[in-house]
Amino acid sequence: MTRNFATLLAVNLALGVFFGSMQVSVSAFADVHHAASAAGLLYGLMSAASLLAGLAYGRHRRHTPPAAQLPLILTFLACASLLPLLANSPWQLGLALLLPGAGVAPCIIVSSTLIESVMDRSVLTQAFTWTNSASAAGIAVSAAAVGRLVDGPGGPRAGFIVPFLVLTATAALTWSSRHALTTGTTASGQTPSTGSGRPRG
């Protein structure tokens, strides 16, 4: 496993933690505010923001390489993840979830683009399997851990801290790895195949 692929694996793990933590924390917040039935709507607002941001991202041509975009997006996502801590009511939480949601789709798009760029085509399917598994593992582990956390004294607010911490650490990792990710790609955006079946970074 190369350093580039390990970095992208960590990004997808962090996204999984974000999803799992947010799902549990939003549900707990809605329940505490006697609006349990609104949890799906609140989470849906974040998903809608992600959808719109993904469409907007796809419509604009960018001159910044993906390796430089990734740490910026993760930094934005980490900072935006602090907003739910400021919410005191379900409608405030709904508004607070819009900005974090807007960072999700662009992050997934850029991460996927980089995976295609730094991995040999012969192992590309395997690479996406690993990153998808990392995301699923992040969801499962964080949902279980945050479920116990929100039942403690900190309540839902304690759960919202988890994605911020994980995304901040991951953003720092991608900032330190952005040059390696850039040099791990060729002008065509693909790493030349060596026929060895091993990923190249």
Query: Given this model, what pLDDT does residue 62 score?
Result: 72
Q: Which of 121, 131, 118, 145 is nearest to 20 (CA)?
A: 145
Burial class of residue 145 in the structure, from the number of CB atoms within 10 Å of its CB (0-12 exposed, 13-18 middle, 19+ buried): middle
Query: Given this model, what pLDDT does residue 63 score?
Result: 77
Could you read off the pLDDT tens digit of each residue along the chain, which spans 201 residues?
A: 688 889 999 999 999 999 999 999 999 999 999 999 999 999 999 999 999 999 999 888 777 888 889 999 999 999 999 999 999 999 999 999 999 999 999 999 999 999 988 888 888 899 999 999 999 999 999 999 999 999 988 888 999 999 999 999 999 999 988 777 776 654 334 433 333 344 433
Tokens of 185: 């790609």
- Computed over its alpha carbons, how large is the radius of gyration of the chain? 18
Query: Given this model, what pLDDT does residue 29 score?
Result: 95
**Rounded to an integer, what distance in angstroms lies between the CA atom of residue 68 and that of residue 45?**
28
Query: Given this model, what pLDDT does residue 65 score?
Result: 87
Query: Given this model, what pLDDT does residue 183 score?
Result: 67
